[in-house]
Chain A
Amino acid sequence: MSGIIPHIEVPLLAADGISRLALTIFFMPVITFAVLFFAGKNIPASIRSWLATVVMGVMFLLSVYVHINLEGTHLSRWIWFEIGSIKFTTSLLLSNYSSTMMVIATFVSFMVHVYSVQYMKERRNHSKYFPYLALFVSSMLGIILSDNLLITFIFWELVGLASFLLIGFWYEKDSSAAAAKKAFLYNKFADLAFVIAIMILYGVYGTTEISIIQQYTNIGSALETSVFALPVLAGLAIWFATVGKSAQFPLYVWLPDAMAGPTPVSALLHAATMVAAGVFLLLKTSFLLGGWVSNIIVIIGCITALLAALQAIRTFDAKKVLAFSTVSQLGYMMMAVGVGATDAAFFHLATHAFFKACLFLSVGAVIHAMHHMQSHQFDHGQYKELDTLDMRLMGGFRKTMPITFVSYSIAYAALIGLPFFSGFLSKDAILSGLYDWACLTGTWSWLIVASAFTTVGITAFYMTRQFILIFFGDFRLMKIDVSYKKFFEHIKENEWLINVPMMLLALLSIWFFFSINPLHAQTGWWMKQSFISDHIHDFHIFIPIIAICITTIALWIAFTKYKAVDAFVDTRAHLTHLFAHNYYIEKGIEAVVIKPVFVLAKVCSETDSMINHIIHGKVYFFILFAQIADVFDRWVVDGLVHFIVGLSRFIGSYFRSYLKGEIQGYFYFTLIAFALLLLLLGWYL
């Protein structure tokens, strides 16, 4: 192996105290998963849920402790296994990024666990819910802590598996099963790129340790040697893996469908953590991105943000709006990564985790209330099919569910980017980064900046639309179906187990937690060391002002439009269809990719059957030949023998017929024979 793969010295490092603590945090959900998965049915439901929740809480506290006491970078590396003289290592990296991410992940999962205790109470298949969540959390921590691309890939796949299990949690519903399969397949397709990246990097460097590779890579010089230099291609491949996991265009279509899973799952996976794992990976391997690869990242991110936001305008499913919003914000994060403003990307990731989770939990509270109403209806003997997610059937919950209303409003303000909220800080950081980049780059980059600002306005528009449809106006379901009138009073505030996590997350969406200065993130406190502040951002004051203006205009438009409109009238139906079908991406994929594969398979099977026919023909020919040989054998060869025998017999019987039984006759013939013999002897003698 020494000639093919370069041998780079990979030093082994033992784990120190903090790293061991991080490992403990990682193993806690693994143990929880094992216990609950195998013995879960025997444990009563409440103990199950509280066990998982308490474990999550402990993990959160421990990770806070780790974050506080972390100074610098702690790297540990061990030997995983050896093949001959080749060593494969595992490593653990504790840096600002990973400890911050760990805090975020454990906090959101803790909140989601508390929420789930109430939300998933007495739902089907309860014994598998917490084990799957524990599997997910452990894999997510694996991605966060690992410094080895191969280990990251393993946990990447495990996260995909957990996502599949959780999306299709109520698998008896066809839509859930189909959505789970779709999510898994799209992720798998993108993970192929991850494998290719690992192969390229291993081939070039002989190791998959990120820290080691970082020391030996200079992307600028690699780009100078060749446009398609191997490190550049590796960067492209890793980015493509995140196109699947972090839902970029065109592989984002699984995320809206993934809303078929339970709402807490949507909050945890598809808002806060899993989809952010892609961004996190890119942040760690940002040294591989440069030149044309970065440009591609920015362009795709921009397209994603814009198109998803457009789709959200005409969606009536409450959770789907939030899903499109997630895709759009992920586009923002990717744009920041492509531009090089990794700090801004990470900041937005953190704030987005909190306010998006809060939004999902609030919508989940609304849905939970609707279900509550349905169950009362069922108890009274009437039951009608109700799509509890359809926003057109909601309305006026501002008065009946005030706490939910307040937390939703706070998170909504953060998402839109109103000042004094966390989202404002992070979004403006991204916009500033984009502006700086556009100043350096050429003309086409201004298009990107323009569309980014436009997306800000569209975001405000659709979020306001949802806000109004759910919480303002009258309860429209009552207007349609009068029988629901008596059940309306059952739509009330949920239990504290649901409300408290919502409120906590809403609290974290306020500016205070991220920066003392409500207008600028430069003085962040608990995230201070996450910023690798190589560049000092100039604070462009006009950027937030422009953003606020656009936001306000969009807000006002939405307000006036939806206050008075009848929500069931659908103008511009074709646009709705276009958005509803995800811009026909899936149809495109089916035609371009799937159909040719089927055609190829059919061609192969046709060829195969033709070869079969030829072989059969050959066999028939041989059988025919054998028959001919048999006939020849029986008639000609045997016939010859029989003929000779018959001839002898004929001659013998002819001569024998002369003998009539007289003895003298025999004597006569003997004499003739003897005479002939003598004649013969006479000739020779």
Chain B
Amino acid sequence: MIPVDYYIIVSILLFSIGSAIVFTRRNILYVLMGIELIFNAANINLVAFGQFEPYLNGQLFSMLVITVAAAESVVALAIVIVLFKKLNTIDLSEIKNLKEK
């Protein structure tokens, strides 16, 4: 129905937008959203190629990816909460505790 090239292009564009969000935004929550977009781009790729298989490996792997992404965002939010309690800010340009003295 749809040639697989189109899916690849959509996936690439979504991935690049997601990366741009991660690189350029200063708010942690925006970064988390960008990460979700990246995950979804990978998912699109997987499912697009998975329709040609007699076995359902594409869909299965994609389900795993979704699971991992959800788990990851849970943990990330927990860390954000703790970070907010500690440093009272969610601005990434102000959180420089990892810097070498």
Contact = CB atoms under 8 A, between A and B. Distances in A.
B82 interface: no
Nearest to B28: A663
A671 to B, nearest CB: 7
A662 B19 contact: no
Contact of A664 (B23, B97, B99, B100): B23
A668 interface: yes
Contacts of B92: 662-664
A682 interface: no
A659 B99 contact: yes
Contacts, number: 26
B43 to A, nearest CB: 19
Interface string A651-667: 00000100111111011
B98 interface: yes
Main secondary structure of the interface of B (DSSP, over half): loop
Interface string B65-101: 0000000000000000000000000001101111110
B31 interface: yes
B22 A661 contact: no
Given A667-B22, A667-B23, A671-B19, A661 B98 contact: yes
A663 B97 CA distance: 10
A663 B95 CA distance: 8
Contacts of B98: 661, 663, 666
A599 B19 CA distance: 102
Nearest to A663: B92
Nearest to B93: A662
Nearest to B96: A661
Contact of B99 (A661, A667, A668, A671): A661
Interface residues of A, number: 11
A661 B31 contact: no
A453 B19 CA distance: 145
Interface in B31-68: 31
B8 to A, nearest CB: 15
Contact of A660 (B22, B23, B31, B99): B99
A484 to B, nearest CB: 118
Contact of B96 (A662, A667, A671): A662
A661 B100 CA distance: 8
Nearest to A666: B98
Interface in A96-113: none
A119 B5 CA distance: 147
Interface in A640-685: 656, 659-664, 666-668, 671
Contacts of B19: 671
A666 B22 CA distance: 11
Contacts of A656: 100
A659 B99 CA distance: 7
Contacts of A662: 92-93, 95-96
A608 B31 CA distance: 90
B97 A661 contact: yes
B100 to A, nearest CB: 7
Nearest to A668: B23
B16 to A, nearest CB: 11
Nearest to B24: A664
Given A662-B92, A664-B22, 11 more contacts: A656-B100, A659-B99, A661-B95, A661-B99, A662-B93, A662-B95, A663-B31, A664-B23, A667-B23, A668-B23, A671-B19
Top 9 A-B pairs ranked by shortest CB distance?
A661-B99, A661-B96, A661-B98, A664-B23, A660-B99, A662-B92, A663-B92, A668-B23, A667-B22
Interface of B: 19, 22-23, 31, 92-93, 95-100
12 contacts: A659-B99, A660-B96, A661-B95, A661-B98, A661-B99, A662-B95, A663-B31, A663-B98, A664-B22, A664-B23, A664-B31, A667-B23
Interface of A: 656, 659-664, 666-668, 671
